[in-house]
C-alpha cells in the first residue's frame, strides 16, 4: 500500500493511544495529590513532567493547573491531549480513502469537541473520562468497520508501540512516587487494571505483584509485554512471506529485545532499577519507531518526544 497511507494509519493508532494514556497519567497524578496528604505537590509535578520529557522554566509555577495546560489543553504542547487529537485528525484526513466513514466521523467529532473548548470546560476527572471513552469508541470503530488488511495492521502496530511506551511512563511515575502508599494502586486504576489485578491475585496486594501484572502479564491487554507482543505480531503480519527464518527488520529485533529483557530478567532485578528499566524500554520503542519509519514510510522521520527519551 502507499507509504503515505501506511504512515497515516500508524500515527492514528499512536496519537489516539497517546491521548488516552496521557489522560490516564493525569488522573494518577490528580489522585495522588488528593489521596496522599504527605505528597510534595511541586516534586510530584516535576516528576510527572520529567517522565513526559517536558522541561519548564524556573519561573513556571509547579501546580496542577500547569500540568493540565501542558499535558491536556495546550495544542502547542507536543505531549498534550489536544495536540494528539489534532494529529490523529490530520492523519485521518490524509488517509480519508482508507479510514471508514464511521471512524472519520468519530475522530472529527472528538477534534471539534476539544477545539470548541469542551475539554477545558469540564472538571478534570470528567474530562479524563471523556477522553478515554472517545478513544475507546474510535478504536472500536476502527476494529469493527475497517478491513483487517495491511492498513489495519499499521494502525494496530502504532497503537501497541505507543501503549508499551506510555505504560512504561505510567510505571515510571509510580516509581517516582514510591514513598506514597497509594502509588501502585492509583497506577493500576489508571491502566484500567485494578479489577483484573484484584481478581487474579485475590486481594494479595503488593507493589511487586502490581509491577509484575503491569509489566509481564501475558493476558492483560495493557501490560507492557502484551503490547510488545501485539506490535511484534502486527510486524510479522506485514512481513508475511519475506523470510522463513530470523527477523526481517530492525524494528522486530528492537521489540524482541525489549520483550526478552523484561520476560527473562528476574522481576526483582527489574523492580530494583525500575526507572532505568523503563527508560531502556522507551529507548527500544524509540528505535523501533525509527526503524519502522525508515522501512515502510520512505525514511519519514518519526515523531520525537521533545526533551524526553526519544
Show the low-confidence residues of the chain (pLDDT under 70).
Answer: 1, 175-181, 203, 240-248, 299-310
- DSSP SS3 for 95: coil
Q: Treating both helix axes as pointing N-terminal to C-terminal, what angle do 3-35 and 274-296 enclose, rounded to 10 degrees?
A: 160
Specify the pLDDT at position 278. 93
Task: Give counts: helices (H), strands (E), the chain.
Answer: 15, 0
Specify the pLDDT at position 73. 94
Give 22: exposed, middle or buried? Use CB within 10 Å, 0-12, 13-18, 19+: buried
Specify the pLDDT at position 307. 42
CA within 13 Å, CB half, 40: 9
Specify the pLDDT at position 22. 94
Helices (H), 36-62: 41-51
Interacting residues of 35 by C-beta distance below 8 A, sequence separation 6+: 182, 186
Give the angle 128-155-142 at the CA atoms, nearest 5°: 70
pTM of the predicted model as reported, rounded to 2 decimal places: 0.90
Specify the pLDDT at position 309. 42
Specify the pLDDT at position 308. 45
Q: 203: which 3 cell numbers?
A: 486481594
Asked whether the CA dihedral 235, 248, 283, 210 is positive or negative, the reply is positive
Amino acid at each position: 500500500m502507499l507509504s503515505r497511507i501506511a504512515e497515516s494509519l500508524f500515527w492514528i493508532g499512536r496519537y489516539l493511544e497517546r491521548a488516552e494514556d496521557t489522560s490516564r497519567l493525569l488522573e494518577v497524578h490528580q489522585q495522588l495529590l488528593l489521596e496522599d496528604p504527605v505528597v510534595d505537590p511541586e516534586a510530584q509535578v516535576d516528576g510527572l513532567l520529567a517522565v513526559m520529557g517536558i522541561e519548564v522554566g524556573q519561573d513556571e509555577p509547579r501546580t496542577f493547573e500547569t500540568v493540565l495546560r501542558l499535558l491536556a489543553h495546550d495544542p502547542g504542547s507536543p505531549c498534550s491531549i489536544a495536540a494528539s487529537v489534532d494529529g490523529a485528525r490530520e492523519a485521518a484526513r490524509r488517509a480519508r480513502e482508507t479510514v471508514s466513514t464511521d471512524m472519520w466521523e468519530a475522530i472529527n467529532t472528538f477534534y471539534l469537541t476539544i477545539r470548541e473548548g469542551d475539554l477545558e470546560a469540564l472538571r478534570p476527572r470528567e474530562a479524563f473520562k471523556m477522553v478515554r471513552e472517545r478513544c475507546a469508541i474510535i478504536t472500536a470503530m476502527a476494529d469493527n468497520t475497517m478491513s483487517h488488511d495491511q492498513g489495519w495492521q499499521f494502525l494496530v502496530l502504532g497503537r501497541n508501540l505507543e501503549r508499551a511506551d506510555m505504560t512504561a511512563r505510567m510505571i515510571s511515575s509510580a516509581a517516582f512516587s514510591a514513598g506514597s502508599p497509594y502509588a501502585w494502586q492509583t497506577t493500576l486504576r489508571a491502566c484500567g487494571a485494578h479489577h483484573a489485578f484484584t481478581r487474579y491475585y485475590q486481594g494479595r496486594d503488593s507493589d511487586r505483584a502490581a509491577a509484575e501484572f503491569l509489566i509481564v502479564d501475558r493476558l492483560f491487554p495493557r501490560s507492557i509485554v502484551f503490547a510488545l507482543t501485539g506490535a511484534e505480531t502486527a510486524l510479522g503480519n506485514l512481513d508475511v512471506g519475506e523470510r522463513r527464518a530470523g527477523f526481517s527488520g530492525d524494528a522486530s529485533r528492537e521489540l524482541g529485545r525489549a520483550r526478552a529483557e523484561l520476560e527473562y530478567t528476574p522481576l526483582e532485578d527489574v523492580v530494583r532499577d525500575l526507572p532505568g528499566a523503563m527508560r531502556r524500554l522507551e529507548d527500544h520503542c524509540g528505535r523501533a519507531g525509527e526503524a519502522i519509519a525508515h522501512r515502510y514510510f520512505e525514511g519519514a522521520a518519526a515523531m520525537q518526544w521533545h526533551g524526553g527519551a526519544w
